[in-house]
Structure formats: C-alpha cells, structure tokens
Chains A and B, each alone.
Chain A
C-alpha cells in the first residue's frame, strides 16, 4: 500500500500529513510543515529596538504574542521592570489575542467538522444546512472581531501591534475608549456563550457518531499560565506529569535543560520532547494546570469539564472545548480590566539600552512562547524562537497514529480517516508560520 498523503486546511499555514502503511500496519505518521522564511537568520543585524516591530510578522495570527515576547526579552537584557500600567495594558493585549484566536479556532476552523461541512462560508447548492452556516459565520466573525478590536485598542495596529515598548507601553487607554470597548464586550458575552453551548452540543453529537473523545494515551503537559488562575504574562514554565503532578518549574532562561530539540528531514518545523517524553501544550495543558479561571461563567464551564472528564483530562477533543472556556474567560476578564482606570499613570519608564542577552516568555494561544536574543553593539547578534506548536509535534504525530490504527485495517482504509486526520490536527490548532518562522 502506498503512503497516504492528506493536505491540511482550516489551520494556519502550509502543512500535510503522511501516513505510511504496509499490509494494514501503520508504519509511521508524519506531520509535514512545508514552508520556511528564515526569521532567525534574517533578524541578525537588526537594531535591537526594532525587533518588536519585525517579529510580529512571523505570524499574523500570533503576532501579539511575538510582539510582547520580544519586548520582554529586551527588558530582560536591559534589566528593566515594566510599569504596572504597562503590564496591565499588555495583559489586555494578550487577552485580545486569545479571544481572537480561540473564537477563530472554535467557530471557523473546527465548527465545520461538527456540522459535517467543508467551511462556514462556501456552501454547495445541495447542502441543506445553508442557513445554519450563514448564521454561525456571521456571529463567529463578530466575536472574533471583538478580539481584533481589543488588540487595536491596547496595541495600536490591528494585526501587528506596535504599542508594547521596553518599560511598558507607548500610551495608556482613555476612559471613553475603554468604556466603549467594555460595553461591546458586555453585549457580546451572551452571544459568545450561546455559540459555545451550541458548539458543545454539536461536539457531543460528533463524539456519538465517531465513538470517542480521543483515545490516545495521557501525556505530559507544558504551560506558562498561572497556577491559581490564568496569567498569560508570567515568567515561569511548568510541566505536569500525566498523572497530574507538577514535576518541573523553570524560567525561560533554562529551557535547554528540560526541552530537547530535534530536526527532521520531512518538516521545516522540527520537534521537541520533555526528557524524551511526548508533551502537549495549548488549551488543554492550561486547563489541566490551572485551578480555576477566576471569572464566573468561565469557571462554570471549567467545572463542568472537570466533572465530566476528570482532572487532569486527556482526550484530545477536549482541547477544543477548553478553547471555549478560555473564550468566555477572555471576554469576562477583559471586561473586568477595562472597568479599572488605564491612564493617568506612567505607561513606560526611561531606560538605557545595553548589550547582553535576554529571554522573553508569554503564554501564546498555542502555549509557552520564548524569544531569546543576544545583543551586541545595539544590534541583534543572534536570536531564536521557541515555538509552542513545535512542542506539540510529537503529540500530534502520536495522536495521528492512534487515529490511523483505528481506521486502517488489513484490507481497507475507512474514508473516515481523512476527517479524523483533520480533527486530530485541528484539536492542537498548530501554527505553521510560527513553527517554521
């Protein structure tokens, strides 16, 4: 039997899956990232102060995370602690990013799998679900646009933000603008919950049809979010063992002692392991490693996830449901933050640039993101990007193997396999532009 190739869609970037089969036995499952631009090479020589404008262009989906991680890395190198207002506005920026990403992943990337259609937008004439799709598409775009609006308010530009600077942010947020945004979020919260409830019901139906929430084995989990409740701007990374015990805490500076990187000849992305083991990053990792969300409606959803699936929970389709919990959280939390004054304090502080080395960490939608720069003569001498999608590569390939073994037998390949490949990959919401940079 030849190698089966599945081009991927409804994910960020260019990738495909290859499954090698012989006599009904799955020999390998490979996730191929098919693009590369070379950011880690061409940032060499760039004036350090400009890096936070260049690196958002690694990825238009995760741009905010790169923007903030770069600024944090410079602050680490310069020995600067940002102002409290600067940190609050950056937190808002990261909430906007999370809101935009989780609503896109839920409603635009993975909802079609639950509805059994190719997309929310293009409907072939014979399909009877046209009106449903139309309704979801309109609401999905409205909710994700809230995230973009929040990014614009806190970050300046709407895709590649510019407002985070060494020491804080370049300006505060005026009360009228904050209040207008707060009202928009209040207004949209019920609609977001309603659409997520619908998503959940459709997920249950899908589970009944395919017979599983995901039967891959438990794994290690990695995140940098808060232990008590979410914090996308922390300075430490934690690892959870499969049985649910936190087994490692480290600062971004020490990542090499815990994570092992490996290149492959079939993907531009490479892959990471934790002490030789498969690990998972992204929404399920955060849910498994956070006690509570800290906002009322998101906490109800999270409790329901734990009661239904246990804690820690391992089935991979829960990545999708946990994204919904986070979607609700980001809206609620942004409402809280916008209710407090975000101006009339120092947005940033004076600093003196210096040469050296810096590490910046943020919890991006896909997991902990690290930027590392060496600065010489005010210019970037070298830089590296430690990308959460890369931490998920082994987990994706392992989950793909489980799916392949489920649908490939000695004499046939069940056509459901193609859909299963899409579901598995989308559960991890990989970002290829980031992974290959």
Chain B
C-alpha cells in the first residue's frame, strides 16, 4: 500500500467534529491506492509534507486553525475542502449570530490557549480551493471520488432522485409538522406528509440516507447545480414552488420556517450565502 510510487495525501482537521475523518476511514479503498502521510487522528506526524492531495475539514475558528491552514496548503498540489464546516461553517455557523457570538467570545477568553477568531469561517475565505466536497459528512463514495477524480463520476442532481418516495398531487397537508411528529408512511414523499424536507433543492450523492428512514432532508450537501450560482432568494423560491405543487401550506408559514436562523436547515443550506458580495463558487469545482 505504501510504495513511494503511490500518490500521497494528507488530511488537515480544523475546528470540526471529525465526522468527515470517520467517513473517510469507512472508504477503505484508499488504503491500497494512496499513501496517507498526515492525519493526526490516525498518524503521529507533526507537519504536512509535500502531498498530491490535501483534504481540509472543519471551519477556521481560531488563530491556530488559520496558521495551520496557511502552512499546509503550501505543501499541496490540490486542495480539497471537505464537509459542511469547511465549506460554509456548518452547524458551528449558528455561533455566528451576533448575540450568541458576543456571549461565547466573552466567556471563552483563555490566557494560554489559541485565540478564537471573531467568526467561524469557511476555508476559501483564506486560501484557494480546487475542489469542494459538501456533506455532513460526505459519504465514503464521495471521498473516493474526490481522491481518484474519475472523469465519468457524477452525482444525482437532487436528493429526491435517490430517495424514491412517491410525490402525490392529492395528499396536501395544510400546515407544517414538526420534525418528529406523526405516523410516517414509508413510501410517500415527506412533503406530502407535512415535513419541511428540502431534498428537492439539495445536491444529491448522499444516497438519501436521512429521508429514506423518514427524516426530512436538512440540506447538508448544499444547493443543487441549478441553484449554486444563484442567490438564496432564488433558492427559497424553488423550495416554495415544490411545496406549492405538493401541499397547501400558507406561504408565510413556509417562508418563516425556511429563513429562521435557528433552524438546522438554515445552517446547512444558507450559510454558504452568509457573506454578501462574495462570488458564488463555480459549479464545476463542486463534487
């Protein structure tokens, strides 16, 4: 597995949960095909050596993260940002709300520890990224595709294609249910059953692991290709159109649920758009 001829890759973990790393460990095929030279979770090594591919997970939360990020990319031919935190701040982006931030920052000052930056930021706020791999976390198949870069690899346009639940025109809820209420039909679209599912606007490739057992999609893979270069308004509209065709939920109720900054949904889908004036990421760079 480790002959010098094999391509070398490294994994730099910034502030995150290590879920991306755990997913990578499930993609066992790299063991035979790559030389993993740096990944503190599983290797004792102190610096990122020269590598063909550098995977970066986690958000830039502290001055330590920023220093490690800037140093590591110097040794890499190709830089891949993996997971929602590295792309958009992820769940930790909730902490960017001003009221929460003020409280958190005021109570997290420590004399002998890394300084926290004012906000958690995505990796491409600071360095050039060659490929974005969204997902919380991305599946092992997506990791392998990011490493091997097969020319014919594509992902489903939206989660619905992989979910396969039937969309009905004549089963129309009039209000949103919470995330966890009510009896579930295993075959029918979650929107028909009153759930705030955004699989219809979310990039596929996840195998619909959440929606198939009955949990609405929270959009962790980010916007689908058609929406990636549009603003969040277009995106909201697209979700609303899907709801109009499958449900009779009042527009205001839906809108309020979609834009609430406290909703899990918001973190995954819209945190990408939290930096106004920033050019959207080119779709050919997103796996």
Contact = CB atoms under 8 A, between A and B. Distances in A.
B186 interface: yes
A119 B107 CA distance: 37
B278 interface: no
Contacts of A108: 25, 42
Given A118-B45, A119-B43, A134 B1 contact: yes
A36 B31 contact: no
A63 B91 CA distance: 13
Contact of B111 (A60, A119, A265): A265
Interface in A24-69: 32, 34-38, 41-47, 49-50, 52-54, 57-61, 63
Interface residues of B, number: 70
Interface string B169-204: 000000000111110101000000000000000000
A138 B2 CA distance: 13
B103 interface: yes
Given A7-B46, A158-B26, A162-B215, A268 B110 contact: yes
B271 to A, nearest CB: 12
A46 B263 CA distance: 6
Interface string A159-184: 11011011000110000000000000
A378 to B, nearest CB: 9
Contacts of A241: none
Most chain B CB within a 10 A radius of its CB, from A10, A52, A100 = A10
B28 interface: yes
A266 interface: yes
Nearest to B32: A138
Interface stretch (B16-24, B72-80, B125-133, B244-252): B16-24
Interface string B198-238: 00000000000110111100100000000000000000000
22 contacts: A9-B44, A14-B64, A34-B114, A36-B108, A38-B92, A38-B95, A42-B97, A46-B264, A57-B136, A60-B20, A60-B21, A61-B18, A118-B44, A118-B45, A138-B31, A156-B215, A162-B215, A265-B113, A266-B113, A267-B113, A268-B108, A353-B178
Q: Top 3 A-B pairs ranked by shortest CB distance?
A: A60-B19, A162-B215, A119-B43
Interface of B: 1-2, 4, 13, 15-23, 25-26, 28, 31, 35-37, 39-46, 61-62, 64, 90-92, 94-95, 97, 100, 103-104, 107-108, 110-114, 116, 120, 136-137, 139, 178-182, 184, 186, 209-210, 212-215, 218, 262-264, 267
